[in-house]
Structures are given as structure tokens and as C-alpha cells.
């Protein structure tokens, strides 16, 4: 009976609060990260993202609220051993080699990870040829790559990454994106705090937007970005074809340019069906361009709305 229960979410927290003296850092945050889900935490400087992460990991004690990691209290050693963490401010023992740092973290996690697998982990973050070099001689970006390897090495079920690409060059950022996608494929849950919205938009299943210590919005990208527009450039549009376009969604026209605002419940066949019908009605279709509001635009809208309604 128990075996049939679905596994507990990777992260579950409810109504977290944290004050530093008179400053409220976190003000009633609840969120979950499902198994194998990649969730992005977004928000302006000082929104409370790092504080939430530290509460989740048991590094900061909340004033109120409950946390479960992998179904267990955050301080439970079982849960801790299965969580990989890259802190925002990272520093590793400068006198150790990269391989020794990983060996140390594997020992701390109490997991048997053979040296070959540890090397693969260094290779995954682009440090294969630096395994024997001391960390003290690493650039900042290389130390951040090592931090990612530390977060990955003990076969975690959940990885929490606080600004994992802040020191990385564009190739490093692309590597991290690929890494996150491969973790997702392996069913590892990821909580990602990043200011790089494009990065979040590419890899995250869901996004939680924090502002002034509260959840300002959350949902899948579809839910948050909502309606999609389709821009078409067409010739030979009869009244019947125009009616077909209008049936697909709200229609505006400027000469040969048509814009259809598609409803939220459209599926993968909506656009190809529309194009096939238009061609069938004798329309010549020059371009079909789906346009979606970007996460950055949506984030700015949400934060500006919060400011205009703000009395604090």
C-alpha cells in the first residue's frame, strides 16, 4: 500500500517567514518543487530568494513556516545527503585539488561514488583536465564550475543552485543549460535562482517570482506567459478565409498582415490546421510567425504592478 504512494515532492514549504531585525526578508512564501521538475526562482535584488533557499536547506532558521525536503525535515541527514547545493557565494578549500574537493564532499554525503564517476562529474562541468590542480589557482568561473560539480557529485535527488552562472562565460552558461536539461532527463529536481531570465525560460518547467519577500506570481511558462499571438502574411484572403482566421482567435488586419490572438487552450494542431485550411481556401501563405510575450516582459509587468500597488 505504502509502495503505491507517489514520492513526496522534492521541496515543499509552507508560509515561510523571516525577519532580520526590523527588516522582513521573507513574508509568507509557500512553494513546491516536484520530483524531476526544474523550478526557477526569479525576482529583483533583495526579494528574498537566497533567504528562501537558505531556509529550505536548513542554513537559516525561519521565524515561522514548515519545510520538507524529499518528504523529510530539512535538517534530517537522509534528506541533506541527497541534496546538492551551489551557494551564491562559493569558496572551496584552496589547498585541495579539484578531485580532492569532490572526494571530500562525497565522503561528507556518505555516498560511495567511484573515482571514475567523480572525474565524469568534473568533465561535465568542463574541468576534466584540471582534476589534479589546486583550487587556489582556479579562476572565479572555474571555481563556480567546481561548485556545480560539488552539487552534482553525490548523486542528489534535488539540486539547489543559487546564481549558478554568475561567473561563467557564455559557453559556460550554455554548458550549464545542457547540464540542467540532462538532470531533468534523469529525474533530478532542480531549484534554480537566476537573474538570467533567458536561462530560466529555456530550462524551467515552472517559475516562482518573488517580490518583497512574497510570491508575486507562480506557474508554468504557459500559465505565466498566457496568450500567444500568430502573425501571418497572406495573399488572396477571401471573406471565407478571413472568417476561418477569425474562428482561430481574435483577429486584427493591416493590409496583408494578419495577427491572430490564440486562446489559451489551443493545442499543437491549432496552427497547422489553420494553415492547411487557409491553403485549401486558396490563400497564399508567405509567413507564419508565432510570437509569445517574453518572460522578461512578463516579469517586469508583474514587478511594476507590485510597485504601483505598493503602500510600503
Give me the residues that bind ligand ATP (CB under 6 A), please.
20, 23, 25, 43, 45-51
Task: Give whichever of 80 and 212 is closer to ligand ATP, judged by the CB atom.
Answer: 212
Task: Give whichever of 20 and 78 is closer to ligand ATP, judged by the CB atom.
Answer: 20
Q: Which residues, in sequence order, are bridge partners of residue 42? A: 209
Task: Give whichever of 84 and 213 is closer to ligand ATP, judged by the CB atom.
Answer: 213
Closest by CA to 233, choosing from 214, 250, 251, 255, is 255
Task: Give whichever of 37 and 162 is closer to ligand ATP, judged by the CB atom.
Answer: 162
Task: Give whichever of 50 and 143 is closer to ligand ATP, judged by the CB atom.
Answer: 50
Shortest distance, position 171 Cβ to ligand ATP, whole Å:
24
Give first-to-last CA distance, the chain, whole Å.
51
Shortest distance, position 176 Cβ to ligand ATP, whole Å:
18
Helix-, strand-, coil-residue percentages of the chain, each rounded to 5: 40, 30, 30
Shortest distance, position 80 Cβ to ligand ATP, whole Å:
21
Shortest distance, position 222 Cβ to ligand ATP, whole Å:
25
Shortest distance, position 11 Cβ to ligand ATP, whole Å:
16
Residue 222 contacts residue 263 (beta carbons within 8 Å): no
Shortest distance, position 6 Cβ to ligand ATP, whole Å:
31
Within 10 angstroms of residue 289's Cβ, the number of other Cβ atoms is 10
Task: Give whichever of 131 and 215 is closer to ligand ATP, judged by the CB atom.
Answer: 215
Strands 38-42 and 250-254: unpaired
Task: Give whichever of 53 and 109 is closer to ligand ATP, judged by the CB atom.
Answer: 53
Residue 161 contacts residue 95 (beta carbons within 8 Å): no
- Cβ neighbours of residue 35 under 8 Å, at least 6 residues apart? 7, 9, 10, 157, 187, 189
Q: Which residues, in sequence order, are bridge partners of residue 72? A: 69
Residues in the chain: 312
Where are the strands (E) in the chain, listed by range? 11-20, 23-33, 38-42, 64-69, 72-73, 83-86, 158-162, 189-193, 206-211, 214-220, 228-235, 250-254, 257-262, 284-292
- Angle 299-303-306 (CA atoms, 0-180°, nearest 5)? 145
Task: Give whichever of 25 and 122 is closer to ligand ATP, judged by the CB atom.
Answer: 25
Closest by CA to 43, choosing from 208, 219, 190, 198, is 208
Amino acid at each position: 500500500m505504502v509502495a503505491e504512494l507517489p514520492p513526496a515532492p522534492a521541496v515543499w514549504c509552507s508560509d515561510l517567514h523571516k525577519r532580520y531585525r526590523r527588516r522582513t526578508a521573507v513574508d509568507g512564501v509557500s512553494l513546491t518543487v516536484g520530483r524531476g521538475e526544474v523550478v526557477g526562482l526569479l525576482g529583483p535584488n533583495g526579494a528574498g530568494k537566497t533567504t528562501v533557499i537558505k531556509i529550505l536547506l536548513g542554513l537559516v532558521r525561519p521565524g515561522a513556516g514548515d519545510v520538507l525536503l524529499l518528504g523529510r525535515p530539512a535538517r534530517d541527514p537522509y534528506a541533506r545527503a541527497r541534496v546538492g547545493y551551489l551557494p551564491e557565494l562559493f569558496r572551496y578549500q584552496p589547498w585541495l585539488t579539484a578531485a580532492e574537493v569532490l572526494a571530500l564532499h562525497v565522503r561528507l554525503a556518505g555516498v560511495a561514488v567511484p573515482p571514475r564517476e567523480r572525474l565524469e562529474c568534473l568533465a561535465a562541468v568542463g574541468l576534466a583536465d584540471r582534476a589534479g590542480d589546486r583550487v587556489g589557482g582556479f579562476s572565479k568561473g572555474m571555481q563556480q564550475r567546481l561548485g556545480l560539480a560539488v552539487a552534482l557529485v553525490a548523486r542528489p535527488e534535488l539540486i539547489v543552485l543559487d546564481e549558478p552562472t554568475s561567473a561563467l562565460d557564455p559557453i559556460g552558461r550554455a554548458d550549464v543549460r545542457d547540464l540542467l536539461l540532462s538532470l531533468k532527463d534523469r529525474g533530478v529536481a532542480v531549484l534554480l535562482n537566476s537573474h538570467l531570465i533567458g536561462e530560466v525560460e529555456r530550462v524551467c518547467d515552472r517559475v516562482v517570482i518573488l517580490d518583497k519577500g512574497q510570491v508575486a506570481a507562480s506557474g508554468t511558462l504557459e500559465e505565466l506567459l498566457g496568450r500567444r499571438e500568430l502573425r501571418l502574411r497572406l495573399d488572396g484572403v477571401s471573406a471565407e478565409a478571413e472568417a476561418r482566421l477569425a474562428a482561430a482567435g481574435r483577429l486584427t488586419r493591416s493590409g496583408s498582415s494578419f495577427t491572430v490572438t490564440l486562446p489559451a487552450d489551443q493545442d499543437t494542431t491549432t496552427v497547422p490546421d489553420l494553415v492547411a485550411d487557409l491553403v485549401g481556401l486558396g490563400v497564399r501563405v508567405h509567413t507564419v510567425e508565432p510570437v509569445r510575450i517574453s518572460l522578461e516582459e512578463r516579469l517586469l509587468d508583474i514587478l511594476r504592478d507590485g510597485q504601483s500597488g505598493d503602500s510600503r
